[in-house]
Homo-oligomer: A and B are copies of this chain.
């Protein structure tokens, strides 16, 4: 594996290898990388958990992290992504983690670039490290994906997480359902009410309503959304024994989920964050080991 760009590019074996390596890190194993590598994190969109999680993972692997302030870079002067990344390569970096507004921005990096590229989110495209940490969280809970019923609820058409997870979960044997208002379904065949889903799901994966991408829609009501599509206190009571709640965060409390459920017994929301560091250590180590 040279780069990590999209869940579509990973085989099931590659996915399982990353999850297994993450489990070793969680159990306290240390990296077997032979030297200290140089990495930069290029976040052209705001981020707290993904960026900080990579920063921590990289340091845990003994990497030297070179700061890069995407909001104050030559991209403002119209520099192409290719030229920015090539520049970082020539400066001596081994890998770059990139989040950018453009779908598949990485296509212009496939030729001529030798640093490893980790996609930390491309527009409304993919978010593979989030998907892998979601898979890790589910596997840790249930042991495998075969026969699980998983409902992904929320802003599906804009969600990198939904797209990345849909691909992987179905291929790994889970049955995945989608729930959202009709206008947010995009290419997905979605349910528009909870009906039987709430009682049948092993995993309810809530997605953030991306207010910043819905500026036009003035009819949107947080209360209305919560009542119809959110995880209310009443719905949580209908969930089956052992079923869990996930959310990639940041959370709109009271919209996707009742605020008191964020840290309820079923919730794995903050555990997902913790798992993310181990998974990202596995991702970065895998790509860097491929260069040794």
Which residues in A have some Cβ–Cβ distance to B below 8 Å? 38, 40, 43, 46-49, 51-53, 55-56, 59, 64-80, 83-84, 86-88, 90-93, 112, 208, 210-212, 249-253, 262-263, 270-271, 273-274, 276-277
Q: Is there an interface contact between B263 and A91, defined as CB atoms closer than 8 Å? A: no
Q: Is there an interface contact between B250 and A91, defined as CB atoms closer than 8 Å? A: no
Q: Is there an interface contact between B52 and A274, defined as CB atoms closer than 8 Å? A: no
* Complex Cα gap A251–B77 (Å): 9
Closest chain-B Cβ to A35's Cβ sits at a distance in Å of 14
* A-B pairs with lowest CB-CB distance, top 3: A79-B250, A48-B74, A90-B273
Given A83-B249, A249-B83, A78:B40 Cβ within 8 A: no
Q: Is there an interface contact between B91 and A53, defined as CB atoms closer than 8 Å? A: yes
Given A55-B67, A66-B59, A72-B43, A49:B250 Cβ within 8 A: no
Contacting residue for A38 out of B56, B67, B208, B211, CB 8 A: B56
User: Considering only CB atoms, which chain B residue lies closest to A65 in the complex?
Assistant: B67
Contacting residue for A250 out of B65, B83, B90, B263, CB 8 A: B83
A92 contact set on B, CB distance < 8 A: 56, 274, 277
Q: Is there an interface contact between B90 and A46, defined as CB atoms closer than 8 Å? A: no
Number of copies: 3
Closest chain-B Cβ to A277's Cβ sits at a distance in Å of 6
Closest chain-B Cβ to A59's Cβ sits at a distance in Å of 6
A52 contact set on B, CB distance < 8 A: 40, 66, 68, 87-88, 91
A263 contact set on B, CB distance < 8 A: 112
* Complex Cα gap A210–B49 (Å): 33
* Complex Cα gap A88–B51 (Å): 11
Given A74-B250, A212-B77, A252-B78, A49:B271 Cβ within 8 A: no
Q: Is there an interface contact between B49 and A87, defined as CB atoms closer than 8 Å? A: yes
Q: Is there an interface contact between B90 and A274, defined as CB atoms closer than 8 Å? A: yes
| 30 A-B pairs in the complex with CB atoms less than 8 angstroms apart | A40-B52, A46-B74, A46-B77, A48-B73, A48-B75, A48-B79, A48-B88, A49-B91, A52-B91, A55-B66, A55-B67, A59-B64, A65-B67, A67-B67, A70-B72, A71-B72, A74-B249, A77-B250, A78-B252, A79-B250, A80-B253, A83-B250, A83-B253, A83-B262, A86-B270, A87-B249, A90-B274, A91-B273, A91-B274, A92-B277
